[in-house]
Structure formats: C-alpha cells, structure tokens
Amino acid sequence: MSVLRTIFLLAGLFLSGCATSPNANPKDPFEGFNRGVYKFNDTVDSAILKPVAKGYKAVIPERGQKIIHNFFSNIDDIFVTANDLLQLKFAQAASDFTRVWVNTIFGVFGLFDVADKLEKHNEDFGQTLGYWGVGSGPYIVLPFIGPSSVRDGTGWAVDSYYGLVGNLDDVAVRNTLYAIDKVDLRAKLLDAESIMEGNITDRYSFIRDAYLMRRQSLVYDGSPPREKYEDY
C-alpha cells in the first residue's frame, strides 16, 4: 500500500503547487500538470506496457486470454457486489453475488464464465461516492494509473486497499497477478485505441472528455442529468 500513498502524495504536492489558469477548463483546472503526467504515462506505455501487451496477444491464444480475463473479472464482481449494497441496489447485488459464487464454484475460481446469462455490472467505490452525492472534483491524471478525478482517485485507492490481490502475503504472487491484470487490460485496449490514430488532434482532451462522460454515465446508470453550457 506504500505505492498508493506515494502516488497520491506526489499528486497532492504537484496539484497544490499548480496555479489555475483563468482560461482553464473548469473541470480540468490543473491541465498543465495533468498534461505532463499524461506525457509521462504515454512514454512509459509506449516503451513498456504496449509492446508487452502486443506480445501477450501474439503468444497467448484467444481462449487463454478469455480465461485470464474471466479470472480477474470474477474477483472484480466481489467488489461490484459490495458497492451494489452500499448503493442500496439489492436486486443487482443479488445478481452479482450469484455470478461470483456460481463462477467460483462451477467455473473453477472464475476461470470460466458459466454465469454468463447474468448481466455483468460495473460498480466501484468512486461510483458509490457519486451515488451519495459526492461530486467528481477536479480531473486529475495519476502517474501510472491514468485518467481520474479527486473522487474517483479516492475510490480507486479504497478499492485497491481492500482488494484481494493487494492483500496477498506472498509478494511474488501479488506482483505477478498485478502485472498480468494490467497487461490483460492493456491488451483489451489495443483495438480500441486504433480509433484515435490519425483522427484526433488532441488526444489528451479527447481522453479527458471521454473519461468524464463515461464516469458521469456510470454514476447515474446510463441516465446522467443534462448539463447546461454557456457556450456550445
């Protein structure tokens, strides 16, 4: 957990020292800092994570990738269920809990998604905070983590702190699972990112706006309130 504390400490120090530009996007008052972190993350991704993800897709058969993804998805469903309950979504919690125990028992610890008839939901502690009226706060880009906000960054820290993988005593196993999960996620994004190649003039702004819109939609289960714009 020391890594999480270090990331948020560094982010806090940088953010506290950044002046807000009068012409800044109101949702992104620390744009100068965020662009610097975005460039750093993009450099690390291009040099390490993206090549590894491409190798992963080339070496691991599609069936194997699906099994790996199912395993981590099953772990995620545990926390989805917990956040369902925190948001008083009891019917959804029952469905997600059923997915967990069915896939864990009959799907060999989640390696096979035998409960695929039940809808897979997306809930995390950042969404739970939003459900109870906590605003997203300023947009921030976290080192190694990527797009976030004050609310969602806090939610991510809480989810990570109580995560099953993060609380494993065996450091080698814990770090290996972290790495596999990260590479699997990055591999899933390889096809999607081709949309931005050559079509987006400012990738930073595109990613920021897409992230904020998606998070707003998730908090309101796909029906966010309409926002008013002075200039459109």
21 occurs within a structural domain: no
**114: buried, middle or exposed (CB in 10 Å: 19+, 13-18, 0-12)?**
middle
Q: How much is the pLDDT for 165? A: 87
Tell which phi-psi region holds residue 137, choosing left (phi > 0), alpha (psi between -120 and 50) or beta: left
161 occurs within a structural domain: yes
Angle at CA 223, nearest 5°, toward 218 and 224? 75
196 residue type, one letter: M
101 occurs within a structural domain: yes
pLDDT at 214 over 70: yes
pLDDT at 120 over 90: yes
pLDDT at 49 over 80: yes
At 91, is the pLDDT very low, low, confident or very high (cuts 50, 70, 90)?
very high
At 168, is the pLDDT very low, low, confident or very high (cuts 50, 70, 90)?
confident
Question: % helix / strand / coil in the chain, to the nearest 5?
Answer: 65, 5, 35
Structure tokens given for 47: 């040099």
pLDDT at 66 over 60: yes
Full residue range of the structural domain in which residue 187 is found: 2-13+26-219
**Is residue 200 helix, strand or coil?**
coil
Q: How much is the pLDDT for 69? A: 95
Task: Report the interhelical angle of 62-86 vs 90-106 (nearest 10°).
Answer: 140
Q: Please give the average per-residue pLDDT across 15-31, as a whole number.
A: 68
20 occurs within a structural domain: no
Q: How many domains does the chain have?
A: 1
pLDDT at 19 over 60: no
228 occurs within a structural domain: no
Helices (H) and strands (E) in the chain, counts: 9, 2
Q: Please give the average per-residue pLDDT across 167-176, as a whole number.
A: 90
102 compared with 226, residue with greater pLDDT: 102
Q: How much is the pLDDT for 137? A: 95
74 occurs within a structural domain: yes
150 occurs within a structural domain: yes
At 198, is the pLDDT very low, low, confident or very high (cuts 50, 70, 90)?
low
At 220, is the pLDDT very low, low, confident or very high (cuts 50, 70, 90)?
very high
Q: Which residue has the tokens 């595109």?
A: 206
- In the chain, what percentage of residues exceed pLDDT 90? 72
192 occurs within a structural domain: yes
